[in-house]
Amino acid sequence: MSDLRDLYQDMILDHGRNPRNFRETADANHVCDGHNPLCGDRVKLFVKVRDGIVEDISFQGSGCAISTASASLMTSAVKGKRVEEVRELFDDFHELITGDPEQQPDSSKLGKLAVFSGVCEFPTRVKCATLSWHTLKSAIDKDDKPASTE
């Protein structure tokens, strides 16, 4: 189990240092800002949805390694997915992070996102890991209000 934890930690550090999809998408049709006041994390998401599919997604912003890694892994995971699938993934991810560690959801659907399973043991970091997801949900719900974890 500790090997797995090290692997997870390495992946979070890697994505935190070298975030994927860290850019602006010029033709995004959903743009949303998110803020986690608890830690000072900020994220701006650029989502391009066409025919119910997330064709492109990218982000910018600044925050701690966990929030950056989460946005990086999230954008990689949802690109090319249908909006309904993205909503399901949001629910699964949220359950993984905030749920009972003894009753984790089926992580096979979550793929690499399962690296955040250890975060539920650190309540103060939960909002860092979920910030980009709340922001994505606001973006696809076409809610123009900035997302906040508060």
Sites of contact with Zn ion (CB under 5 A): 39, 41, 64, 67, 128
Closer to Zn ion by Cβ: residue 43 or 96? 43
53 phi and psi angles, rounded to 5 deg? -120, 140
Continuous H helices in 18-145: 65-78, 83-98, 123-140
DSSP 8-state symbol, 146: P
The CA-CA-CA angle for residues 81, 10, 126, to 5°, reads 65
Nearer to Zn ion, 53 or 65 (CB): 65
Smallest separation (angstroms) from Zn ion to the CB of 136: 17
Taking the complex as a whole, the smallest distance from the CB of residue 32 to Zn ion amounts, in Å, to: 18
Closest CB 63 distance from Zn ion, rounded Å: 5
Comparing CB distances to Zn ion, the nearer of 25 and 67 is 67
* Alpha carbon separation from 128 to 50, 54, 80 (Å, rounded): 29, 23, 24
**Shortest distance, position 7 Cβ to Zn ion, whole Å:** 21
Spell out the residues 6+ positions from residue 41 whose beta carbon is closer than 8 angstroms to its own: 34, 35, 61, 62, 63, 64, 67, 127, 128, 131
Nearer to Zn ion, 31 or 64 (CB): 64
Q: Which is nearer to Zn ion, 11 or 39 (CB)?
A: 39
Supply the minimum distance, in Å, between the C-beta of residue 129 and Zn ion: 8
Q: Is the dihedral of CA 14, 1, 128, 142 positive or negative?
A: positive
